[in-house]
């Protein structure tokens, strides 16, 4: 039912905006040495991350995925999202879908738990505010997450010269983002601190997750 409702909303929005003068399609892909999202490594392997999008005025509808180059150790993700933007503010609803590539274990149309208690879809509502070099993000998971995990992040572009940019960021969350010992209460901790340097189609990030006590260096190429 949730899937049907979401599809109806997206379909109506796309039809209403189809004739907009600014309407356009987009596509591309990133190749990254590791898929690290909000301080967590998804897949422990290099990944290819394709996307397609449709933008018309303030509306953007798209699909984004991540597919491990080494499927034995890697992970898979295939998301749908809808974004509405007005000035410096954007509101997004994302359906994070994590298929299990084993036969009969992908369950795309099942938005609740399956017979084994596994969930494949996680819906998040998020908002961003961007003003000059500063950007702020807040998100909350709405489904299949007993903690309704929260995440907040701030990023600042501290350097921009000769086609090179350098941005610092810090993010924190609770629930799914943090590690607690058995019996401990859920807590909010900093989980994502780092620096990203980008030039043309290339980027590199140094990422620290203080809660998990681990660091990553991630290299990426965008096409």
In tens, the pLDDT along 130-140 reads 999 999 999 99
CATH number at residue 9: 2.40.160.40
Instruction: Say what the pTM is.
Output: 0.85
Instruction: Write out the residue range of the structural domain in which residue 49 sits.
Output: 2-222
Task: Express each pLDDT in 15-24 by its tens digit.
Answer: 555 555 578 9
Cα–Cα distances in angstroms (integers) from residue 110 to residues 2, 62, 95, 100, in the given order:
10, 20, 12, 13
Name the nearest CA neighbour of 171 among 194, 192, 196, 141: 192
Task: Express each pLDDT in 153-207 by its tens digit.
Answer: 999 999 999 999 999 999 999 999 998 766 677 789 999 999 999 999 999 999 9
Contacts of 113 (CB under 8 A, 6+ apart): 119, 144
Domain count, the chain: 1
Handedness of CA 29, 34, 39, 40 (dihedral sign): positive
- Of all residues in the chain, the percent with pLDDT exceeding 70 is 83
């Amino acid at each position: 039912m949730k899937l049907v409702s979401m599809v109806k909303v997206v379909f109506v929005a796309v039809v209403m905006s189809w004739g907009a003068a600014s309407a356009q399609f987009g596509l591309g892909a990133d190749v990254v040495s590791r898929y690290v999202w909000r301080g967590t490594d998804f897949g422990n392997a290099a990944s290819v991350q394709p996307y397609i999008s449709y933008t018309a005025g303030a509306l953007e509808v798209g699909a984004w995925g991540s597919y491990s180059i080494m499927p034995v150790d890697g992970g898979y993700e295939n998301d749908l999202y809808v974004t509405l933007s007005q000035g410096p503010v954007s509101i997004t609803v994302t359906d994070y879908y994590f298929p299990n590539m084993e036969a009969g274990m992908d369950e795309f149309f099942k938005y609740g738990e399956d017979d084994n208690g596994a969930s494949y879809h996680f819906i998040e509502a998020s908002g961003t505010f961007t003003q000059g070099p500063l950007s702020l993000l807040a998100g909350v998971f709405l489904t299949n997450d007993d903690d309704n995990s929260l995440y907040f992040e701030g990023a600042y572009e501290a350097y921009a010269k000769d086609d090179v940019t350098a941005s610092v960021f810090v993010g924190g969350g609770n629930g799914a983002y943090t590690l607690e010992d058995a019996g401990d209460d859920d807590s909010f901790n900093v989980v994502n601190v780092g620096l990203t340097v980008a030039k043309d189609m290339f980027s590199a990030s140094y990422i620290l997750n203080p809660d998990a006590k681990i660091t990553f260096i991630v290299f990426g190429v965008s096409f």
